[in-house]
Amino acid sequence: MHDYAASRAFYELALGAPTHVTDEFTEWGAFGIVDGPASRRLHAGFGVPDRAAVDAWWQRMTAAGYESDGEPGPRPQYSAGYYGAFVLDPDGNSIEAVVHETSGSGLDHLWLRTHDVDAQRRFYELIAPVVGIRLVRDAHFRFADDSGSFTFVEGEPTENIHLAFGVSDAATVEEFHRLLTEAGYRDNGAPGERPHYHPGYHGAFVLDPDGHNVEAVFHDRR
C-alpha cells in the first residue's frame, strides 16, 4: 500500500479488528495489506450476514469520507440473490460488502484485470489440481474453492497482488513450484521453510503472466 497507515485505517473501519499485525503487514483472515508498493485496480468483496449489514457498512464508510463506488442494492447480473455496496479504498481499489446465496463471512471474492485472459487461465489451470481450486466459469474465467473465488477480466492490469494457496504438505509446495518453473514461469522463491513468518511455514513462489506473486504454502503447526 502506498500509504500504509491510511490503508490500515480504511480496512479497520471496513473489516473490524485485524487478526494479525506486524510493522510490515496487517491481516484480516485471508486478506492482508503490506507496507510496500500499492495494489491497483483490484476488486475485493467481503461477505456480511444480510442486506441490512450491507446498508450499514456502506453508510459507515461513506460517512467517514470514503468515496462510494456503488450504492447498496441488488445486482441480479451476478445472481438472483446478490446484494452489494461498494466504496473506494485510499489507493482507488473497489471494496465491496456483499450477501448472496453462498456467501459467508470474510473474503468472498477477488476480481483482477489483465491484458491476456487466456495466458492467465493457462497459468491457473496448471496449478488448479495441485492447490485445490477449480474452474467454475469460462466467461472471464473464475476459479473457486469452498471458501471463495477469484476472477480475471479484460482491462488495464491489476498491479502488485500476492495470492497464496494453502496446501496439505511440503511435498505439494515443491510440486507447485516444479510444475510452474518447468512450464517456463518465473521463479520468485524456491520451496523451503520461512521461519521469519512462523516455524514450520513452508512456501514457494512463482510469478504469473502479469507478475503477481503466487504462492503455495503449508503451515506445519506441529
Task: Classify residue 192: in a domain, yes or no.
Answer: yes
| Residue 99 three-state SS | strand
Which residue type sits at 133?
I
Task: Classify residue 87: in a domain, yes or no.
Answer: no
Confidence (pLDDT) at 147: 74
Which three cell numbers mark 213?
Answer: 506473486
Total domains in the fold of the chain: 1
Q: Average pLDDT, whole number, for the chain?
A: 93
CB 36 within 8 Å of CB 54:
no
Tell me the angle at which helices 117-131 and 170-182 cross, rounded to the nearest 10 degrees. Answer: 150
Task: Classify residue 21: in a domain, yes or no.
Answer: no
Q: Is the pLDDT reported for residue 208 higher than 80?
A: yes
Q: Tell me, rounded to whole angstroms, the distance of Cα 118 from its chain centroid.
A: 20
Which CATH number does the domain housing residue 120 bear? 3.10.180.10
Task: Specify the pTM.
Answer: 0.91
Compute the average pLDDT of residues 172-199.
97
Q: Is the pLDDT reported for residue 201 higher than 60?
A: yes
| Host domain of residue 184 | 115-222
Compute the average pLDDT of residues 13-32.
93
**pLDDT-above-90 percentage for the chain:** 83
